[in-house]
Amino acid sequence: MVLGGILAHAGIMFEERWYWSQYQRSSRFEPVSAVTQLVQGIWEKYPSRAREILRERIYTTEIVPVLDPEMVKVSAKRMSLVTMAEWKKLKLLQNEEIVFDPQSSASFDDQNVSFTETQAMNFLLRELKDRSEQSSLPLYSRDRAVGAMLLSVDGQVLNYALNQNALNRTLHAETICFQGYWFQHREAVPAGSTLITTLSPCRQCAAMIETSGESIKAVYLEKDLGRFGSCAGRNVVFRDL
């Protein structure tokens, strides 16, 4: 259950050190939580050890439906709900607060740019051409060539982003797009908006779509056949371009 307006906490123990985050959500459409702050913050601060740290169990006083479970499945390992009394005992351990500032999305000089779905996809593909020089690097050492753009019902560009996941595994283009929109506007994505993405959203990004607004559609160019590329959002319409 989402406890709107209540300060929530999340933490993880690794090598006798307690890493923790706290966050107060102001809206059910907010694509951020104590758990996302913890997971994204650990990947940001400790990229070389994040995978090892996040194999441990996350403990949290609030689990935001869809958003938290799907991020944990993709970018961490496991999670359990605890009471505030249990949390206070855990925080007595040697600890470090983790704070994550969401990645800035790209922007246009002209704020009134409008695209059709095809124009948006072509724009993203052009932007991704520069990623080709990274293709010889190992998969986990490069930003995956994925782009996403959020369009309003009338085609206005609300936000767009490219994957920044070479070091921080959570920074998928769609996640950056929705979190960036939230921190810029502090409101739900307009109902009926469309996300254009070059690759079908993974479970984490599908959860971002479902959390960030109502009746948001997702249009993709290629199907992600990977382990987490299942388009898992339960209330999102997906289709290819």
**Residue ranges per structural domain of the chain:** 7-97, 117-240
Is 60 in contact with 79 (CB distance < 8 Å)?
yes
Radius of gyration for the chain, computed over Cα atoms and rounded to the nearest angstrom: 18
For residue 132, what pLDDT is reported? Answer: 63
Is the pLDDT confidence value at 65 over 60? yes
Q: What is the mean pLDDT of the chain?
A: 88
Residue 238: pLDDT band with limits 50, 70, 90 = confident
Q: What is the helix (H) or strand (E) element at residue 57, kind and residue range?
A: strand 57-60
- Other C-beta atoms within 10 Å of 3: how many? 12
Q: Under a CB-based contact definition with an 8 Å cutoff, are residues 163 and 173 in contact?
A: yes
Query: 110-165: per-residue pLDDT in tens?
Result: 678 999 999 999 999 999 987 666 556 555 567 888 999 999 999 999 999 999 99
DSSP assignment of 73-100 equals HHHS-EEEE--HHHHHHHTTSSEEE---
96 pLDDT above the threshold of 70:
yes
Contacting residues for 155 by C-beta, under 8 A, at least 6 apart: 114, 115, 116
* pLDDT, average across residues 82-90: 91
pLDDT digits 0-9 by tens, 102-111 = 877 777 766 7
DSSP summary character for residue 202:
-
Confidence band for 239, pLDDT divided at 50, 70 and 90: confident
Could you tell me the pLDDT band of residue 80, with boundaries at 50, 70 and 90? Answer: very high
What pLDDT is attached to residue 106? Answer: 73
Mean pLDDT of 207-220: 95
Average pLDDT over residues 12-16: 93
State the pTM of this model: 0.90
| Each residue's pLDDT tens digit, 179-206 | 999 999 999 999 999 999 999 999 999 9
Domain 117-240: CATH class, spelled out: alpha beta
**Mean pLDDT value of segment 80-95:** 87
Choose the most confident range, by mean pLDDT, from 10-19, 95-104, 220-229. 10-19
